[in-house]
Structure 1
């Protein structure tokens, strides 16, 4: 149940206008979503960074030898130390924790607002979540729109993350990465450009927005209408319900991620190529990169290069993130108390 809905249930429908305590509750609830989302993103990003790094290197353009076809085994053999699998973990954790915190917060706020505009919100099917329950189309549109906003905000960190993970660039620090991207193509007396931090924005949004919309749609449907009805409800209150909700939320998150990732895979390959390209590269549009991928050896399969790694990474990431997020927001009283004095 949403924050404003639960307050209304305790105080009556007119209390939302005049009850000053509601502001404190909303503030605590927003803080809970922000912290829970950031914590979930931080854990998943750090844990699964090796899969992201390998996926990026499978998709990157091999300038030295265009015929060279990278594989997971070949890329692993290039590594001299195990810690190299976590190269780029700082921009990755920054992007994911900030992005997840903003995404979960804005998504919850949007869904709560839509839910509160209804006279009779639909009933939750699984009882494993306190999040608002919306129609499939509302889930699709809110996921799509919120991801577009957060994607644009975090795009500079996304570009740095892609370049750190690639072996085409040898940045030694975040500052060096920012400077290198800003000054990219600034020779011949030209100044750097802030636009370099938004390379591949359209391709990224074309991947992430449909993914997020489909993900929320699949996740809520699986959680409420499929797994929530297949797994029996325990009579005992504490441990049984916790285990059941964890299994349902984690399984729904992973299955939803598998389906959404497979559908949007081509845009991920295009996005990676665009973000790794320099100003001098002619392949700097979605159309030109698409033609290039089709002409290279492998043809249409190039759009799905690294899909197995992305399926594993996104599936595990979604399972970890949404499970942690759903369980943490149930602890609203604890997290909210951290901000109650401010």
Structure 2
């Protein structure tokens, strides 16, 4: 098999693995995303009020279709892009096969390299998926009563034009790019640290110059990868929480919240803690999503 064809198959594998992990997490955790959006949409909303406003279990999965499209496609594009960038940089640095660790088939890079690559990859994919992100947010909110994606597209274009589909991109980028950079860097560090702390790597060769480090079993690697993903996600989510609230306000009420700076000032005047609205829900969702998506992704790319 030619090198070009093999590289294409590997990229496709990462795309499919990322898509699968993203889809699974989106379907499982949609209720948390919906409640987080509704808590953030207004200064008067609390989690208790949101729960009282939901009259059926079915309502918890409102917006699942745009959410599933965004998360699955976004994860597939992001993780395949991330893989290509990291693999190429690793090869250039080592002028041979990339270096891996015992729980993963993903190339090992330095922390700052992971931060830069994660931020750039997330920004690019975030721009591509921005229209479906705006639609997803509006579906989850109870400020709009769309019955289909087509209706949402027509309404957004009618009142906000093409710019409406990219509303809040600045805030989204300021949230997602740092999140991705902090997450991937922390995640990779934790994958190296946890096997030693959990005494799972005592029989493995720790020489960083050895590219044939023995792999952990599926159960052990799954535990390491999902735990690393959860811890890294909690850290990155907390740091970037204010940008998530700003983004949500701008996307749901574009007439009231017109710019990033104006939205920030309004939130600050309401109460500084408004910047962290929905944080507990977002922490649970992001940690759960990361654990599910990255565990599935890491195991599928080994096949």
- TM band (smaller chain): over 0.9
Deviation at 1:61, TM superposition (A): 2.6
Counterpart in the other structure of 1:294: 268
Counterpart of 1:40 (choices 13, 18, 21) is 21
Deviation at 1:240, TM superposition (A): 6.7
> Given that residues 118 and 180 in structure 2 are in contact (C-alpha distance below 8 angstroms), is that contact kept between their aligned partners in structure 1?
yes
Specify the SS of the correspondent of 2:94: coil
The gaps in structure 2 that reach 5 residues or longer are 204-213
Q: Deviations over 1:173-222 (max 9, x none)?
A: 0000111111115xxxxxxx211100000000000000000000100011
Q: Following the alignment from structure 1 to structure 2, what is the Cα–Cα distance between the partners of residues 239 and 326?
A: 12
Q: Deviations over 1:280-321 (max 9, x none)?
A: x2421011111111112xx11000010000000000000000
Aligned residues: 292
Deviation at 1:119, TM superposition (A): 3.0
Counterpart in the other structure of 1:217: 185
Q: Deviations over 1:121-164 (max 9, x none)?
A: 8854x411011100111000000000000000000000000000
Matched, 1:115 2:96: no
Distance 1:136 1:120, change over 3 A: farther
Q: Following the alignment from structure 2 to structure 1, what is the Cα–Cα distance between the partners of residues 235 and 121?
A: 20
Q: Following the alignment from structure 2 to structure 1, what is the Cα–Cα distance between the partners of residues 265 and 8?
A: 49
Counterpart in the other structure of 1:267: 243
Counterpart in the other structure of 2:194: 227
Q: Following the alignment from structure 2 to structure 1, what is the Cα–Cα distance between the partners of residues 287 and 194?
A: 17
The gaps in structure 1 that reach 5 residues or longer are 1-19, 63-67, 186-192, 332-342
Counterpart of 2:257 (choices 283, 294, 300) is 283
Equivalent runs, 1:163-242 vs 2, <5 Å: 163-185=138-160, 193-224=161-192, 226-231=193-198, 232-233=200-201, 241-242=217-218
Specify the SS of the correspondent of 1:247: helix
> Given that residues 86 and 117 in structure 2 are in contact (C-alpha distance below 8 angstroms), is that contact kept between their aligned partners in structure 1?
yes
> Given that residues 48 and 317 in structure 1 are in contact (C-alpha distance below 8 angstroms), is that contact kept between their aligned partners in structure 2?
yes
- The RMSD of aligned alpha carbons is 1.9
Q: Which moved more, 1:226-235 or 1:131-140?
A: 226-235
Higher Cα Rg, which structure: 1
Q: TM-score, normalised by structure 2?
A: 0.92
